[in-house]
Structure 1
Amino acid sequence: MQTTQTILLQGGLDLITPQVTMPPGRVISARNYEPDVNGYTSTGGYERFSGKPSPSDGISLDDIAARRAAIAAVPGTGPVRGTTVYNSALLAFRDQNDGTGAMFKSTDVGWVQQTFGSTLDFTLGTAAFTEGTTVTGGTSGATATIKRVVVTSGAWDGSAAGFLVLSGVTGTFSAAEFITAVPGSAKATAAQVAIGLQPGGTYEFVTHNFYGAATALRLYFVNGVGTAFEWDGTTLAPIRTGIDTGSIDSYLLTAGGPPDKVLTSASDRIIVGSTAVDNPAYIDEYRNHLFLGYSVGAVVFSGPGVPLDYRTAAGAGTFAFGDSMTGMLSASTALVCFGRGLIEYIAGNSVDDFQKLTVTAAAGAVLRSPQVFGESPIYLDDGGLRRLSSSAAYGDFKTGTVTQLLEPLFKQKRLASVTPNTSLVVTAKDQYRLYWNDGSGVVLYIGRKYPETLPFKLPITLYSSCVGEISSGLGDRLFGGGTDGYVYELDKGTSFDGAVIDTYLRLAFNNLQSATQNKVFHKFTADVLCEDALTIGVKFDIDYSRSDERGDPRNEAVEGGTPIVSTDAYASIDWTQSVQGELTRYLYGFGRNVAVTLVTSAADKRRHTFPSSTLNFSPRGLVR
């Protein structure tokens, strides 16, 4: 007698569980699908971006192609080293042919390079300067508008030293001349110096309002090769901490080190320092302090509410971190610091009660993988992705793996020296995405009781990524900076920037809860959510592919359907439209278990989802 079994397609990729006990909703091989609230959904497209009209919004194929051709790469050379959304625009950073770095802003005419002002160092300050006033050189007659005033030592009693950030400079200030403004008086130590970005590195960002005013939300960033910076859309201010981290190498205690370098002990390592460099690689805000992390194992924080002030008198301070840092995140009630073999966190409210505690000294995070999901950091270690969650005790954390089922995949990447380039969190989809430097990656879905993961493979390699709102009220958009110099908007369009999207999904071998009983498999049916008609390739295998019983690949047509009804054009609604499509493949197979493979390839179809499937079968005798 023929019967049926319907299953929800959930659980993600499983490379660990024995086939005989694997839940039938999981998959044993996949490419370019992601788990979500509905089931398994095909990977979204991407298209190049610069602020010009979107290719996928074109009204014809020719219009789409013309729009795509009009969007240029970020000017410069090498990868897009950083991307972030600030003030409803995308900022992209790329090295220039003259050996500098540059910041570009997306506009409706494409990428526009941002210009910066100058700094003027001073000493012997006797009266405080005020932002927005004009400073004049007593000897040179040079003038400029003061945009920032930063004191690095002393007080306005004749001992103040620091620097001014200037715009609109006319003339050249002279060394040792007195500079004055109303109010303000000090002595210049040298001529003004143009503010610039160092080439190289990888950018990390945080936005925060330290100043309280409604318009004082500013962007702070680091790149690991130069100082940190503050940007308000027009003024770029260097952040000088005064720290001497040196050019660092790490040695085990038993290894020793060059005798001509200064050695300082840090946990179980010796940190070897040489030339003075203020080059933070990690940045975040915690308790209204700006925290900067250095790859060599140092953490520095500003005074509260003064992100440019790193004097101890202002409430600034520093911590030593006993490993090479790989990330730093503000999460829950603490600031979590990651090393390759160490995880610690800082708790407290100010320099008076900040304390550094250890989560684990037995493992750490891989570079570019840590992100915050909700209040919990997610990161990659040697065993896969882990989630750091708060325990009941205040400030304490505990670690837990979320990708145990994919351990062979992560091991394969590690042995092949494939490393992450970037990662991001898509809050609206309960997803964490990791992008490796070979163009592949994984999507981790945390919207159900147990995490689910599926892999993807892109024809491009992303070097950086970000999430942010370009148009107010329209939600976050996803962007990636490519190694080819282009910025791409992710989850946009129906193609990979004009190329087809190939998808592949092989469901687990399903024994229908009877591993040793033969069955006749009659039909496979899958529900399909997609607004477009699709052609889906279907193949089936019997008895773990050992049997000669297997189906040849065959294309099946699926009509489009959607339960979403728009009220924008109520009078033109087609009330007869299908709610969803249905894929049907007759199997005619005999054996103990069956696995079905689904394949698509298209550049003009919207995303599709497989929420569930049904098998029609007839039980037969036991295998003896």
Structure 2
Amino acid sequence: MAFTKQETPQIVACTAEGDMLDGTDGLFFGTTDGYVMREDVGTSFDGLAIKAVMRLQFNQFKLPANKKRFRKLVLEMEALDSVNISFRQQFDYSDGNYAASGTQGANAGAGGGVWDASSWDTFYWSQPLVSQAEANIDGVGRNMSRVLWHESAATSLKRFVRFDAAPSSDVNDALDTLSSGLDTLQGDVNRALKLPAGTADQTLALTAGQRANLVLALDASGNLTTNGGINGISDRRMLWARAKSAFGVA
């Protein structure tokens, strides 16, 4: 049995556990702001990135009393998708006699599959079953531990297999990501200057230097154009007078 610690942005008020209809375990908790959330599903925390940290044991490499120099590290990892991991080494139970190594990063490529055995579209062709990431390190000590951490809120469409069942949590995460992107796009559209539907494209074929100090305007046909820029107080007064006249302001 293993134990770990977890921190959530919300304050947990109550918890519940039970069997789901598909036979899996369901762990839920209620928050003080009225939400009910399910634990250990999906690839994000309600759309927020999940931060994960893991410290491995201090390994003496079968020679507990011998001081050793470490020069290279090879990580073997299995991952559904390509993932970036940060890590650093600590020596001699991190007692301070030997400094910890600097922080480094490694990438684990998405795992491969077995022909006629693995599910279609759930793995990457021509990839090994286990990825290896190598890093040059420099440290001295009788033992060494590694601290690894990762942060991500990504949802991979590789989890969805055509004509196959998909976990509802993955579907919800993908739809949340899509909905968030559409909301952002709609916000950009709402703030944009728009012309009626059916209007021909209005493009100002001017470089940045040619547009400098010009004023965006509409010509006699109602199409976008540019007028002479504002070069002084007199130009500003003239534009203000035109604006008041156009809107009937005294």
TM-score tier by shorter-chain length is 0.5 to 0.7
Q: What is residue 12 of structure 2 aligned with on the other side? A: 462
- Alignment root-mean-square deviation, CA: 2.8
Counterpart secondary structure, 2:93: helix
Q: What is residue 580 of structure 1 aligned with on the other side? A: 130
1:507 to 56, 69, 73: 56
Counterpart secondary structure, 1:457: coil
Kindly indicate whether residue 103 of structure 2 is the aligned counterpart of residue 538 of structure 1. Answer: no
Work out the CA distance in 2 between the residues paired with 1:574 and 1:594: 34
Kindly indicate whether residue 43 of structure 2 is the aligned counterpart of residue 494 of structure 1. Answer: yes
Work out the CA distance in 2 between the residues paired with 1:563 and 1:508: 31
Counterpart secondary structure, 1:493: coil
Deviation track 1:92-112 (CA, whole Å, cap 9, x = no partner) reads xxxxxxxxxxxxxxxxxxxxx
Instruction: Classify 1:527/1:534 alpha carbon distance in 2 versus 1 (closer, same or farther; 3 Å).
Output: same
2:97 to 542, 547, 557: 547
Counterpart secondary structure, 1:504: strand
Shift, 1:576, TM fit: 2.6
Indicate conservation of the 8 Å contact 1:538/1:585, yes or no. Answer: no
**Residue correspondence of structure 1 range 510-521 to structure 2 within 5 A:** 510-521=59-70
Structure with higher helix content: 2
Shift, 1:588, TM fit: 2.1
Kindly indicate whether residue 78 of structure 2 is the aligned counterpart of residue 529 of structure 1. Answer: yes
Q: Which amino acid aligns with 1:543?
A: D
Counterpart secondary structure, 1:481: strand
Q: Which amino acid aligns with 1:506?
A: R
Work out the CA distance in 2 between the residues paired with 1:573 and 1:506: 28
Deviation track 1:421-443 (CA, whole Å, cap 9, x = no partner) reads xxxxxxxxxxxxxxxxxxxxxxx
1:478 to 27, 33, 39: 27
**Which consecutive unaligned segments of at least 5 residues does structure 2 have?**
157-250
Structure with higher strand content: 1
Counterpart secondary structure, 2:126: coil
Counterpart secondary structure, 1:576: coil
Q: Give aligned-pair identity as a percent.
A: 27
Work out the CA distance in 2 between the residues paired with 1:533 and 1:575: 13
Work out the CA distance in 1 between the residues paired with 2:92 and 2:19: 50
Instruction: Classify 1:574/1:583 alpha carbon distance in 2 versus 1 (closer, same or farther; 3 Å).
Output: closer
Alignment TM-score, normalising by the size of structure 1: 0.23
Kindly indicate whether residue 152 of structure 2 is the aligned counterpart of residue 602 of structure 1. Answer: yes
Instruction: Classify 1:503/1:562 alpha carbon distance in 2 versus 1 (closer, same or farther; 3 Å).
Output: farther
Shift, 1:575, TM fit: 4.7
Alignment TM-score, normalising by the size of structure 2: 0.52
Deviation track 1:241-276 (CA, whole Å, cap 9, x = no partner) reads xxxxxxxxxxxxxxxxxxxxxxxxxxxxxxxxxxxx
Indicate conservation of the 8 Å contact 1:530/1:562, yes or no. Answer: no
Work out the CA distance in 2 between the residues paired with 1:538 and 1:476: 32
Q: Which amino acid aligns with 2:100?
A: R
Work out the CA distance in 2 between the residues paired with 1:574 and 1:526: 20
Shift, 1:466, TM fit: 2.6
Shift, 1:539, TM fit: 0.7
2:140 to 580, 590, 600: 590
Work out the CA distance in 1 between the residues paired with 2:72 and 2:133: 10
Matched positions, count: 153
**Which consecutive unaligned segments of at least 5 residues does structure 1 have?**
1-444, 446-451, 607-624
1:556 to 85, 103, 106: 106
Instruction: Classify 1:605/1:458 alpha carbon distance in 2 versus 1 (closer, same or farther; 3 Å).
Output: same
Q: Which amino acid aligns with 1:497?
A: D
Instruction: Classify 1:573/1:605 alpha carbon distance in 2 versus 1 (closer, same or farther; 3 Å).
Output: closer
Indicate conservation of the 8 Å contact 2:79/2:108, yes or no. Answer: no
Q: Which amino acid aligns with 1:460?
A: Q
Q: Which amino acid aligns with 2:143?
A: N
Instruction: Classify 1:463/1:566 alpha carbon distance in 2 versus 1 (closer, same or farther; 3 Å).
Output: farther
